[in-house]
Structure 1
């Protein structure tokens, strides 16, 4: 049977009218009557597009003509080499190798296309937000504009506009990732790269990590939430997270019956699943009477015969990546809403969220005498430095006990 040809062509996207009557130029890929559009980083007015497609293109327009011709040729070659074509396979092969480094915007846009192609919607939104802030500070941003002085001024501008150090750090880490790709690509030189030692250091917040004491944890266990209410379910999910190695709510939503064994639960963090495809880090959480009770009470037992079905019924087998993202966000928001209410009623000074469950697991584990290496392994961290950031330190009573040794002159 003859293989159906995939057609590729760069065309103006008339759905997206930019400023001054300009349209983004998109790579259009057509297969079996289905079309998808991908950013090239270029735009043109109708008059410019006519010139680009004529023999009269000169200067800047001629360069654009040659560049988009190269994009078309590379994309067609990529499509032709795929034995059984799918858009997902094309996106994986083409965008992993090709980021358009014409300027900062085109690089961000192409990278965001790649993230969406990989179903990393939340990360793509982070990059889009960062690009919006950077362009608000400096429209038409080019790589040569990004210097140590530029980054310092941008930081000051964001602070003057009421942005936190955490927000600034998130935005600039996306820029650093794009600059790293540009450096690897040869678009900028090592000398032009502005981040690192004796250059610009991305600010980090000095927030002290907070975790509950074991006495506070007991109060949560004993809290009398109404039976079978949303509050009771949120409380139990929080306890499940705390007892199962601080598993976050996204990973709870993704738990399948095949992950549940007689004495333990095995899972791989969704956050690191893509990066660790070749050698996934499997986390093992031990089951106990509390964990068993929660699975028995809230588990979707009708689906238990199929190991691929989800334990808590938050997700369904046919969900798209967009469905999963929406359902997980709703799950997180609902659970945190109820657990925060519990925290307020118990008089806690910090908001009782799933984040606190994870940090409490790490902190109480280490305070109880477990090696930090064990905590790191249990949390699924790649290195101990990350675990140390989770560790909330010793409470004041414990510090006072240790400080006594400084003046304990007994022989």
Structure 2
């Protein structure tokens, strides 16, 4: 049976950097498989044939983690090739291992490469992006009936068929674009790494942004949600309160609500940084906000009872709670006769819409559905004095 070792070549004249290679040994014959995996010599342990990542900074750690997964992937493939050759019983040479591996590299698995990118994002703590990549990967694999495909097989025809699959299964146009842009980013990275050639397979699929149905509610509908009697429906009441808290706080996103710390509230002002953009926002603390907080009296470091450090993965708790609340809000929306699904996101759009309907100047608000990007929202809000925004918010809340 052939054996595989991972070794490193120092690059001359720079003796501090090297490239990894695989040494294939079988029946006294040795062959070398070169790679373009570069690293510093001190980052490789020749005895254990493992990477040294202990002293690496965050950026270098992410690179080495991704490199380590590439090596693990290659080693799994090499061992699989050797096992297949051994099962044939017929004699084989080291050249057979090298040729089979070269064929694998020329038709590298999209699934494995996508998983590497997801792992790279996770190692960089970019959890939300890794989740969106995972969603795109699962969508594509459903289209492929869970059969992997080589990156070299990506072409206009395959992507066109995937786009048609998404549309036929009821996927919205913006979600189609969302998946396609992620797939394109992964494909382009494979091109940059020399894994495949650029064939522009996404040239004819939709990657734009379509205008969607306006999700904002009228002011009277917001008042109805606030005042509806849900005393016999505690789950619906909690979902309603979270919806109203978002509306009260100028359409705060659910992820920001979930991780509001009690230390964020001081001197009658709620101060926090948006997780999506890093932008700092200061909101005057109003009586209606305090009433919701007192109604639930959350234990632990957070203002609202959405996540708890004592219950494990906080991000998982946030996502599960968001799903539950949106499900209850949709039920509430149906009970109240709304034509479109009621979700937490509707609260964000509704604040902007109600503010506009009450003649609040456009220089003070950002109408969520009227802007093409978060950058526009940030530009508008960044130049507004906090007191003027608070005045606008108070005028809306006092009218309820």
Q: Provide the TM-score with structure 2 as the length reference.
A: 0.64
The CA deviation at 1:99 is 8.8
Equivalent position to 1:67, from 15, 23, 35: 35
Equivalent position to 1:92, from 30, 39, 62: 62
Q: Tell me the residue number matched to 1:115.
A: 121
The CA deviation at 1:354 is 0.6
Query: Would the aligned equivalents of 1:115 and 1:124 in 2 still touch at CA under 8 Å?
Result: no
The CA deviation at 1:254 is 0.8
Going from structure 1 to structure 2, the CA distance change for 1:163 and 1:241 (only over 3 Å counts) comes to closer
> What SS does the corresponding residue of 1:267 show, helix, strand or coil?
strand
The CA deviation at 1:79 is 5.4
Query: Would the aligned equivalents of 2:260 and 2:303 in 1 still touch at CA under 8 Å?
Result: yes
Q: Distance in 1 between matches of 2:25 and 2:283?
A: 61
Query: Would the aligned equivalents of 2:66 and 2:119 in 1 still touch at CA under 8 Å?
Result: no
Query: Would the aligned equivalents of 2:333 and 2:341 in 1 still touch at CA under 8 Å?
Result: yes
Equivalent position to 1:283, from 281, 291, 304: 281
- Structure 2 gap segments, 5+ residues each: 7-21, 71-104, 381-400
The CA deviation at 1:246 is 1.4
Q: Distance in 2 between matches of 1:135 and 1:72?
A: 39
Query: Would the aligned equivalents of 2:176 and 2:206 in 1 still touch at CA under 8 Å?
Result: no
Going from structure 1 to structure 2, the CA distance change for 1:255 and 1:97 (only over 3 Å counts) comes to farther
Q: Tell me the residue number matched to 1:357.
A: 347
Query: Would the aligned equivalents of 1:343 and 1:351 in 2 still touch at CA under 8 Å?
Result: yes
Query: Would the aligned equivalents of 1:376 and 1:387 in 2 still touch at CA under 8 Å?
Result: no
The CA deviation at 1:266 is 1.9
Going from structure 1 to structure 2, the CA distance change for 1:93 and 1:119 (only over 3 Å counts) comes to same
Q: Tell me the residue number matched to 1:314.
A: 306
Q: Tell me the residue number matched to 2:213.
A: 208
Query: Would the aligned equivalents of 1:179 and 1:193 in 2 still touch at CA under 8 Å?
Result: no
Query: Would the aligned equivalents of 2:215 and 2:349 in 1 still touch at CA under 8 Å?
Result: yes
> What SS does the corresponding residue of 1:351 show, helix, strand or coil?
coil
- Structure 1 gap segments, 5+ residues each: 1-10, 13-24, 27-48, 273-279, 304-308, 389-411
Equivalent position to 1:192, from 199, 211, 232: 199
Q: Distance in 1 between matches of 2:307 and 2:171?
A: 35
User: What is the RMSD computed on CA atoms of the aligned residues?
Assistant: 4.3
> What SS does the corresponding residue of 2:258 show, helix, strand or coil?
helix
The CA deviation at 1:226 is 0.7
The CA deviation at 1:97 is 8.1
Q: Distance in 1 between matches of 2:207 and 2:230?
A: 44
The CA deviation at 1:297 is 2.2
The CA deviation at 1:194 is 4.3
Q: Distance in 1 between matches of 2:69 and 2:363?
A: 38
Going from structure 1 to structure 2, the CA distance change for 1:163 and 1:238 (only over 3 Å counts) comes to closer
Q: Tell me the residue number matched to 2:251.
A: 246
Q: Tell me the residue number matched to 2:44.
A: 76
Q: Distance in 2 between matches of 1:338 and 1:232?
A: 9
Query: Would the aligned equivalents of 1:284 and 1:378 in 2 still touch at CA under 8 Å?
Result: no
Equivalent position to 2:137, from 128, 132, 148: 128
Query: Would the aligned equivalents of 2:270 and 2:282 in 1 still touch at CA under 8 Å?
Result: yes
Question: Which deviates more from structure 2 when the two are superposed, residues 199-208 or residues 261-270?
Answer: 199-208
> What SS does the corresponding residue of 1:270 show, helix, strand or coil?
coil
Query: Would the aligned equivalents of 1:182 and 1:188 in 2 still touch at CA under 8 Å?
Result: yes
Going from structure 1 to structure 2, the CA distance change for 1:326 and 1:159 (only over 3 Å counts) comes to same
Count the aligned residue pairs: 317
Q: Deviations over 1:351-409 (max 9, x none)?
A: 22112111112222233334555434999964228999xxxxxxxxxxxxxxxxxxxxx
Equivalent position to 2:320, from 327, 330, 340: 330
Q: Distance in 2 between matches of 1:160 and 1:376?
A: 35
Q: Distance in 2 between matches of 1:207 and 1:330?
A: 26
Equivalences for residues 4-403 of structure 1 within 5 A: 52-54=24-26, 56=29, 63=33, 66-67=34-35, 76=44, 80=52, 82-83=54-55, 91-95=61-65, 102-117=108-123, 118=125, 120=127, 122-133=131-142, 135-136=144-145, 139-143=148-152, 145-160=153-168, 163-185=171-193, 187=195, 192-195=199-202, 200-202=205-207, 206-226=211-231, 229-272=234-277, 280-300=278-298, 303=300, 309-317=301-309, 320=312, 323-372=313-362, 374-376=364-366, 382-384=374-376
